[in-house]
């Protein structure tokens, strides 16, 4: 017997009521969460109301005075520290690059052990825990510790970037390896190759495009992260920015932030091009 | 032809690596010396101890999560209207769309710690500066992914609403938003996770949360307490990730 129109309508009504009730429950939960968070975060609307204009005023002050008549001179005055800043930005990019390469290499070594299809269970668990630890501790926390151990300067920053990158990339690389075709691994093994050789010749060639393109993405992120390491004394442009903010050198703040933005945009463009190249080469290889 | 330049790329990359190692002054004796000191620090970290301030630390941790939550919420509130200007199926002008998207990129280009530094200076120390610092780069990120969610929506439902006599606003409300909402919500959860991670360090520059305590402990050489705080951060981040993954899976299935 097929259900009558009335039954269908009744069921529909019931479903709608249940849905509405669920939505209301979520909404209530959300409102409570906002309330609790606002309480803990010490947000009061009066402070917000006077905070926002102050923030706006602060940002307005960082805008340099550029007059049309004396544009060249004003611009030069605004960018008075250009050569120092560009030098520090190059440092920042270099810290990010070196950290990314070393971290990616360490992550790659660990990623084979962390791939569930390639390694025994104990190795997978061990490698995954280690990678998890390395990527959950923020780069800045590593930097704070390394500045103590290795002294102030870019070396501590580079090492912090490398360690965090190892954790972040190791996990992604392991996922790439897990997607690899296992027949090549068997081929290497049956030809008498060791496990390491099977990884090198059976898995890596398949994963390489993914590995490189994740590595490039991470490099972009690391350039952003390296730009703040100087705040804790770990090298790069961050220290100059910190000083400018601390000493209320308003136009310097906007100059440095703009330079960071420019650098980040440039690196992003470059990496995007390289990524297209890699993926393009991959498409050629498959077809 | 295209592949033949690949070895050149790798050689250039390797040279750059060597240059980098030289620039950061990675001499073997420095590395050995540092590793020795690091081992000594790790020795000092064991066993981790709350140092009698467990209550305060848990408060600071709650503040961190609250900052991440409110920062995400603030960013989403601002990003949602902005995202309509960046979506090709809502705003037809290519020039406007291009300008809007570039400005979203600009907001994302600067790390939240830089914003924290600026906002602490502008509105004073405390979690409020942290909330603003988390929200600003997220506005750029969320506006961009929201625009993409809107663009990937199916046109036919929007046309359906229009054909039934709905206004443009109604078409967006009933044709576009129901399609884009699950994607947007799951992006929001991702952002919340990532903000929890970022929020843990904002305190280093005075913007509230657990980072203040961590920075202090390291400056005062209280390594066992610093290790305890790092462990607390790890547990919190893992818990938030787990909860958020559960909700995201639910959203996808629904």
| B239 reaches A (C-beta below 8 A) | no
Contact B111 A227 (CB under 8 A): yes
Q: Residue B88 has what pLDDT? A: 65
Which of residues B249 and A287 earns the better pLDDT score? Answer: B249
Q: Measured between beta carbons, which residues in chain A are less than 8 angstroms from residue B124?
A: 51
Q: Residue B134 has what pLDDT? A: 92
- Name the closest residue on chain B to residue A50, using Cα atoms: B123
What pTM did the predictor assign? 0.84
Burial of B174 (0-12, 13-18, 19+ CB in 10 A): middle
Q: Residue A108 has what pLDDT? A: 95
| B145 reaches A (C-beta below 8 A) | no
If you average pLDDT over residues B202-215, what whole number do you get?
Answer: 88
Which of residues A27 and B52 earns the better pLDDT score? Answer: A27
Query: What's the complex ipTM?
Result: 0.83
For residue range A246-275, list pLDDT tens digits in order. 888 888 888 898 899 889 888 988 888 888
| A284 reaches B (C-beta below 8 A) | yes
Nearest residue to A62 via CA among A267, A210, A263, A244: A244
Pick from A34, A138, A155: CB nearest B200: A138
CA distance A232 to chain B (A): 9
Q: Residue A218 has what pLDDT? A: 93
CA distance B165 to chain A (A): 25
For residue range B66-96, list pLDDT tens digits in order. 999 999 999 999 988 888 777 766 666 777 7
If you average pLDDT over residues B151-168, what whole number do you get?
Answer: 85
Class of domain B54-253: mainly alpha
| A231 reaches B (C-beta below 8 A) | yes
All residue ranges of chain A with pLDDT < 70 are 1-3, 44, 281-287
Q: Residue A219 has what pLDDT? A: 94
pLDDT band at B3 (very low <50, low <70, confident <90, very high): low
Pick from A51, A155, A253: CB nearest B25: A155
- Name the closest residue on chain A to residue B106, using Cα atoms: A261
Give residue limits of the domains in chain B: 2-45, 54-253
Burial of A281 (0-12, 13-18, 19+ CB in 10 A): middle
Contact A230/A161 with Cβ under 8 angstroms?
Answer: no
User: Which of A167-176, A237-246, B176-185, B197-206 bottoms out in mean pLDDT, i.e. has the lowest?
Assistant: B176-185
If you average pLDDT over residues B183-192, what whole number do you get?
Answer: 88
* Mean pLDDT for all residues in chain B: 85
Q: Residue A57 has what pLDDT? A: 84
Contact A41 B234 (CB under 8 A): no
If you average pLDDT over residues B182-187, what whole number do you get?
Answer: 85
């Amino acid at each position: 017997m097929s259900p009558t129109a009335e039954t269908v309508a009744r069921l529909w009504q019931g479903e709608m009521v249940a849905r509405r009730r669920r939505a209301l429950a979520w909404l209530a939960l959300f409102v409570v969460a906002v309330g609790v968070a606002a309480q803990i975060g010490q947000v009061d609307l009066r402070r917000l109301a006077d905070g926002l204009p102050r923030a706006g005023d602060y940002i307005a002050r960082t805008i340099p005075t550029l007059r049309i008549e004396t544009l060249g001179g004003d611009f030069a005055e605004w960018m008075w520290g250009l050569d120092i800043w560009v030098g520090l930005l190059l440092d920042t990019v270099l810290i990010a690059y070196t950290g990314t390469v070393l971290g990616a290499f360490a992550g790659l070594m660990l990623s084979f052990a962390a791939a569930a299809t390639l390694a025994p269970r104990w190795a997978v668990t061990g490698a995954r825990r280690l990678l998890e630890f390395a990527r959950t501790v923020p780069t800045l926390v590593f930097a704070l510790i390394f500045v103590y151990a290795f002294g102030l300067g870019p070396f501590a920053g580079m090492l912090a970037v490398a360690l965090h990158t190892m954790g972040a990339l190791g996990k992604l690389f392991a996922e790439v390896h897990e997607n690899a075709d296992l027949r090549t691994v068997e081929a290497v093994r049956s030809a008498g190759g060791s496990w390491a050789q099977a990884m090198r010749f059976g898995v890596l060639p398949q994963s390489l495009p993914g590995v490189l393109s994740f590595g490039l993405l991470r490099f972009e992120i690391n350039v952003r992260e390296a730009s703040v390491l100087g705040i804790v004394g770990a090298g790069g442009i961050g220290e100059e920015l910190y000083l400018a903010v601390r000493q209320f050198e308003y136009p310097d703040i906007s100059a440095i932030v703009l330079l960071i933005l420019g650098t980040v945009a440039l690196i992003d463009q470059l990496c995007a091009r390289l990524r297209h190249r890699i993926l393009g080469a991959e498409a050629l290889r498959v077809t | 032809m295209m592949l033949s330049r690949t070895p050149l790329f790798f050689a250039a990359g390797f040279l750059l690596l060597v240059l980098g190692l030289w620039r950061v002054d990675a001499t073997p004796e420095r590395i050995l010396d540092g590793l020795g000191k690091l081992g000594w620090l790790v020795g000092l970290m064991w066993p981790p101890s709350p140092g009698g301030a467990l209550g305060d630390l848990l408060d600071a941790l709650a503040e961190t999560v609250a900052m991440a939550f409110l920062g995400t919420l603030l960013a989403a509130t601002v990003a949602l209207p902005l995202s309509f200007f960046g979506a090709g199926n809502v705003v037809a002008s290519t020039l406007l769309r291009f300008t809007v998207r570039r400005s979203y990129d600009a907001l994302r280009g600067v790390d939240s710690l830089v914003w924290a530094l600026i906002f602490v200076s502008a509105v004073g120390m405390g979690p409020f500066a942290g909330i603003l610092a988390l929200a600003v780069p997220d506005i750029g990120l969320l506006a961009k992914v929201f625009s993409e969610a809107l663009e990937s929506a199916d046109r036919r439902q929007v046309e359906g609403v229009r054909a039934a006599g709905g206004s443009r606003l109604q078409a967006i409300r009933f044709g576009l938003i129901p399609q884009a909402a699950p994607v947007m919500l799951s992006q929001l959860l991702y952002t919340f996770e990532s903000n929890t991670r970022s929020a843990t360090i904002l305190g280093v520059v005075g913007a509230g949360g657990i980072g203040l305590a961590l920075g202090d402990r390291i400056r005062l050489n209280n390594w066992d307490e610093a290790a305890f705080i790092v462990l607390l951060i790890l547990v919190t981040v893992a818990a938030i990730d787990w909860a958020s993954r559960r909700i995201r899976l639910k959203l996808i299935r629904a």
